[in-house]
Every structure is written in C-alpha cells, then in structure tokens.
Amino acid sequence: MPVLEINNIHKSYGKIKALNGVSFSVPEGSVFGILGPNGSGKTTLLSIILDVLQADAGSYLWFGEPPSNEQRKRIGSLLETPNLYHYLSAVQNLRVTKSISGRGSIEAIEAVLEKVKLYERRNSRFSTYSLGMKQRLAIAAALLGSPTVLVLDEPTNGLDPVGIAEIRELIKTLAKDGHTIIMASHLLDEVEKVCDHVAILKKGELIASGTVEQVLSDEDCFLISASDSDALYELMSDYPGLIRKKQTPEGLELYFSKAEIAPANINEFCFQKGIVLDQLTIKKKRLEEKFFELTGGLHQ
C-alpha cells in the first residue's frame, strides 16, 4: 500500500492555477522527490497534503485512509523556516517544540539530536549554529514523535556546499532507518543524488512520475536544426506530445516520452509546414547531463 496517494488535486489562487489535476503515489520506504522550478506548485501541494491549505478539488489518502488527526501524528514536516529560538539551546528548543506539539519525550530529544548529529552541541545556543546545523535542528524537531513519514520543503535551500552535503547524508540515513521521505526540490542534481522516486511538476501539471531511473530513461531527445531557427522554434512549440524543448548552439533539442515519436514524423511535420530540416539526430545523454537539462529547460 502506498504511504500517500494523491488523486486529481486542483488548486487556484484567483486566476493562478497552482495545481491542475495532479495525481501520483508515494511508495512506502521511498525517498520521493517532488521536482519542479520555482512556482510550479510544489509548496502548494505539500501544504495541501499537510492540511495547511485546502484543495479546490481532488483528494489524498495517507496510509490508505482519508486524512485524520491519527494519521497526522505519523507525519513529521518541515514546510517553512521553523520557529526556533535564537537564545535557547538545541535541547531547550526541542523541549519547547515537544510541549507545543505534544510529540516525543525527553528521552526522544536526546535520540533525535544524536540522529541529526547535534548531540555534542546540544547545549549551545541556536544563535551560534551554522545554517546547516539550524536546518538539522529543524529536522530533529520534525522527527519528534518518531513519524513514519517526513515531508520536507526544499531542505537544502540557502545552505553552503558542506551544509547541503550534510542534509543529503542525513536524509539518506533517515531513509535507511525506515522513514519515508517526501521532499520538494528545484534541483535535479539533488533529486538524482538523494531520491529513488520522483514526480516532476511544471506550471501545476504533473509531467512525469515514477522511479528516478524510469523517469530518466522515459525520454527521447531529438536534435534538429534549419536555416531559420526562430521559425523552427515557434513551429515546434505546438508539436503534440512535446515535453519540453531547448535551443542550444548545436540546434533545437526536443524531448518526448520514450518511443512516442519517430524521427520521420518530425521531419514530415516540418516539411509540410514549409521548413526543411538540415539536421535530425537522436541525442543520447548521460544521466547527469539529462538532469541538468531538465533543471535549466523546464521553461515556465
């Protein structure tokens, strides 16, 4: 049974459609990345599944059941910068969190501080922590009460490379310990390094979901060019099934779901519209390059 099933969620803010019929499932024990550029609807989706926001339409199930307070206790979350007090130590801060949330115990505080590798610094003031340590303490707070699932919104945002590496290691350790992790990220590289499953959002629409391997190998990339590259770019904008396109010095890259489009179809389409292609090749990409392309290429 999936830990979370999201069914056809819609959400608008006035005229802005933040989510437009998003559905996917999160398997138990996975590290699930919700990937998309800024404004693609990630925070809105996390807010809905955490019951902070209400969807306009659609539903979701936690552990196979409609959301309830009981279910909520099994979910730890870190949506925004948490309320941690600068003049208090890690232990004191977690005591405050514990009494507000009613989760965890005094013994649990020490255990979560060990988990996030802050035990040695447990009595230092929060204000003396690096950004990475602050974020790890926030994750420790989310871990009080031993949640089955941890939901994190952009957990490495604003951190330096060392802080980023520490958080990524921590997420992997938490997954090994049996937590299911659901995390939003706008970094493909991060999803590749940390997650085993991914859902890609673009302008509130789900464009792919599955294991990272599946999603990555699920695309064909064609490289085309013609003498009038602007006209070609325009023409291909409406090509059926196109996931995204990118103008590069070598030509226009077109991305489709695996085996959906034959190169001859593209050639014929362009010819019929009066553009003669001077190049049409199938592009093979290394995994890392492909991730990078997606990050830069998910045009809004």
DSSP three-state, residue 155: coil
Contact between 239 and 223 (Cβ < 8 Å): no
Positions 8 through 27 that interact with ligand ATP (CB under 6 A): 13, 16, 18
CA dihedral sign, ordered 132, 133, 138, 140: positive
Smallest separation, CB 182 to ligand ATP (Å): 13
Closer of 140 and 187 to ligand ATP (Cβ): 187
User: By CB under 6 A, which span of 32-40, 58-66, 94-102, 280-288 interacts with ligand ATP?
Assistant: 32-40
Binding of ligand ATP at residue 40 (CB under 6 A)? Answer: yes
Beta strands in the chain, from DSSP E residues, in sequence order: 4-13, 16-26, 31-35, 57-62, 75-78, 149-153, 180-185, 197-202, 205-211, 219-225, 244-248, 251-257, 279-283
Establish if 85 lies at the interface with ligand ATP (CB under 6 A). no
Contact 9, 21 (CB under 8 A): yes
Q: Shortest approach of ligand ATP to residue 300 CB, angstroms?
A: 9
How far apart CA 204 and CA 282 sit, in angstroms, is 29
User: What is the closest distance, in whole angstroms, from the C-beta atom of residue 143 to ligand ATP in the complex?
Assistant: 23
One-letter amino acid for residue 237 of the chain: S
Q: Is 41 in the site for ligand ATP (CB under 6 A)?
A: yes
Give the residue, chosen from 21, 39, 82, 210, that forms a contact with ligand ATP under the rule CB under 6 A.
Answer: 39
DSSP, res 284: P
C-alpha 21/C-alpha 285 separation (Å) is 30
- Determine how many CB atoms are found less than 10 A away from the CB of residue 39: 16
Contacting residue, 31, 42, 197, 253, with ligand ATP by CB under 6 A:
42
Q: Please, what is the minimum distance in Å from the beta carbon of residue 55 to ligand ATP?
A: 12
CA-based R_g, the chain, Å: 22
Nearer residue to ligand ATP within complex by CB, 19 or 254: 19
Number of residues that bind ligand ATP (CB under 6 A): 12
| Shortest spacing between CB 36 and ligand ATP, in angstroms | 5
Establish if 156 lies at the interface with ligand ATP (CB under 6 A). no
Enumerate residues 184-223 that contact ligand ATP by CB under 6 A.
186
Which spans of this chain sit near ligand ATP (rule: CB under 6 A)? 13, 16, 18, 36, 38-44, 186
